Amino acid sequence: MTTELNPDSLTELLEQAREDYRDLVARRLTLDLTRGKPAPEQLDLSNGLFSLPGERYTSEDGTDLRNYGGLQGLPELREIFSETLQVPTGQLLAAGNSSLELMHDCLVHALLSVVPGAESRWVDQERIAFLCPVPGYDRHFALCERFGIEMIQVPMTADGPDMDLVERLVAEDAAIKGIWCVPKYSNPTGVTYSDETVARLASMSTAAPDFRVFWDNAYAAHHLTGTAVEIPDMLAASTEAGHPDRTFVFGSTSKITLAGAGVAFFGSSTANVQWLVSKSSKRSIGPDKINQLRHALLLRDKDGLRAHMERHRALLQPKFEAVARILQAELGGTGLATWTSPEGGYFVTLQVPEGCAKKVVGRAAEAGIVLTPAGATHPYGEDPRDAVIRIAPSYPALDELEQAIEGLAVCVRLAGYEQQVR
């Protein structure tokens, strides 16, 4: 990534970066680019929820939603999300407020009770491993760490995980029980899986008969351009390939309505859905169906969902454009960084010279700009190249975001040139 500079110009560039950094620190900023949270204006788009469902408490089929029961969730809400999540309504569950919670529960249930197609519980096996495409989502890795599941890293390419490696690993190692996938506008790279990647994931041979693809379609409806990127239907593809139980689909409205009070979804084969419902029925007598009703009334139908996401885009797109513009102006041509230009989702990935990410994040923190810790995009928080920084542009106001990215660019120049001088 680095370009050869003659020593004099390198010294000059470093001196300039040091001066810019001193100015940055003197500004005493307090800015936060850590987590991909919706901004208050985005949350405002769903304030209609507070006056819903009004006096109404029955579903379209007349069920009294105030009571216990309805473990599958509200049919009309599942109907609205069926197309976006690519799961037939009858195989889609609407649950509590967090898809991460559903992923957690699926892991716990698979550890403690036999999943369809398995010969024994995962916990009874000597070794359990998951493939972890990197860079990836830190909370997926945290779940594996929490339950002692070994993490095997697989590099991400522009088409999704390196499928040659994935196919080889799952074919030879029966301890590999799953893979984490964020197939559309991935966290944090923004990569969308290619048709070929999806087809190969759906049809590959696995040594483990109970292998599961954790298809976390968290950004299914979160487009940042006028063109909605679509992916093949993984559940249908794996079913057609003879692996109907392979795919666990997850999604939620966390970044559609209210991040802390949305609705999460799980979709899969009928056997898997029955398996999850039977296990969940021991921990709950049913989800919050009144919240699900509020959501169905607010979003109305799939066109309503689309229109709602357009309003999010209007707020988010300028922020992502500002990040791209400032990075290009401040770091373009320096040879010190590359960055992604996502067409959807919530993140930009910034790659800095090897061995520099922690220094950049540290320098930024000293200047009052808090970033996601370097390494968070990799299992155990350790990026072996120390080169990846995740930028989350959604939450700060536009002017604050601009200041933060300008400051971040100063830190990249400082850490990058300092490394070159050594």
Region of 98-106, 123-131, 157-165, 377-385 interacting with ligand PLP (CB under 6 A): 98-106
Q: Are strands 247-252 and 212-216 parallel, antiparallel or unpaired?
A: parallel
CB 248, min distance to ligand PLP, A: 13
Give the number of residues in contact with ligand PLP, rule: CB under 6 A: 12
151 contacts: CB under 8 Å, gap ≥ 6: 129, 130, 132, 141, 144, 145, 379, 380
Residue 266 in contact with ligand PLP, rule: CB under 6 A: no
Residue 254 in contact with ligand PLP, rule: CB under 6 A: yes
Region of 45-53, 97-105, 148-156, 303-311 interacting with ligand PLP (CB under 6 A): 97-105
Judged by CB under 6 A, the chain residues 111 through 140 that form the site for ligand PLP are 137
- Give me the 304-333 binding string for ligand PLP, x by CB under 6 A, dash otherwise: ------------------------------
DSSP secondary structure of 322-383:
HHHHHHHHHHTTSSS-EE---SBSS-EEEE-STT-HHHHHHHHHHTTEEEPPTTTTSGGG--
Q: How distant, in Å, are the alpha carbons of 43, 74, 84, 100, 343 from that of 103?
A: 24, 20, 19, 5, 25
Residue 182 in contact with ligand PLP, rule: CB under 6 A: yes
Residue 187 in contact with ligand PLP, rule: CB under 6 A: yes
Region of 14-22, 54-62, 71-79, 92-100 interacting with ligand PLP (CB under 6 A): 92-100
Backbone angles phi, psi at 371, to 5 degrees: -115, 165
CB burial readout 292-301, b (16+ within 10 A) else e: bbbbbbbbee
- Give me the 334-363 binding string for ligand PLP, x by CB under 6 A, dash otherwise: ------------------------------
Residue 149 in contact with ligand PLP, rule: CB under 6 A: no
Element housing 201 (H / E): helix 195-203
Judged by CB under 6 A, which of 99, 192, 268, 340 binds ligand PLP?
99
Residue 307 neighbours by CB distance under 10 Å: 12
Q: Max alpha carbon distance in the chain (Å)?
A: 78
Residue 214 in contact with ligand PLP, rule: CB under 6 A: no
Tokens matching residue 3: 């370009």
Residue 100 in contact with ligand PLP, rule: CB under 6 A: yes
Q: Whose Cβ is closer to ligand PLP: residue 377's or residue 403's?
A: 377
Residue 36 in contact with ligand PLP, rule: CB under 6 A: yes
CB 386, min distance to ligand PLP, A: 22
Judged by CB under 6 A, which of 252, 257, 280, 334 binds ligand PLP?
252
Tokens matching residue 230: 């679509």
Q: Whose Cβ is closer to ligand PLP: residue 268's or residue 420's?
A: 268
Q: Whose Cβ is closer to ligand PLP: residue 82's or residue 252's?
A: 252
Q: Whose Cβ is closer to ligand PLP: residue 25's or residue 43's?
A: 43
Tell me if 265 sits within 8 A of 251, measured CB to CB. yes
Tokens matching residue 231: 């992916």
Residue type present at position 162 = D
Percent helix, percent strand, percent coil in the chain, to nearest 5? 45, 15, 40
Q: Are strands 160-161 and 150-157 parallel, antiparallel or unpaired?
A: antiparallel
Residue 264 in contact with ligand PLP, rule: CB under 6 A: yes
Q: Helices 398-421 and 7-26 meet at what angle, rounded to 10?
A: 140
Judged by CB under 6 A, which of 93, 94, 208, 218 binds ligand PLP?
218
Tokens matching residue 409: 């660019």
CB 345, min distance to ligand PLP, A: 8
Element housing 256 (H / E): none
CB 334, min distance to ligand PLP, A: 30
Q: Whose Cβ is closer to ligand PLP: residue 141's or residue 417's?
A: 141
Q: Whose Cβ is closer to ligand PLP: residue 7's or residue 40's?
A: 40
Residues forming contacts to ligand PLP in the complex (CB under 6 A) are 36, 98-100, 137, 182, 187, 216, 218, 252, 254, 264
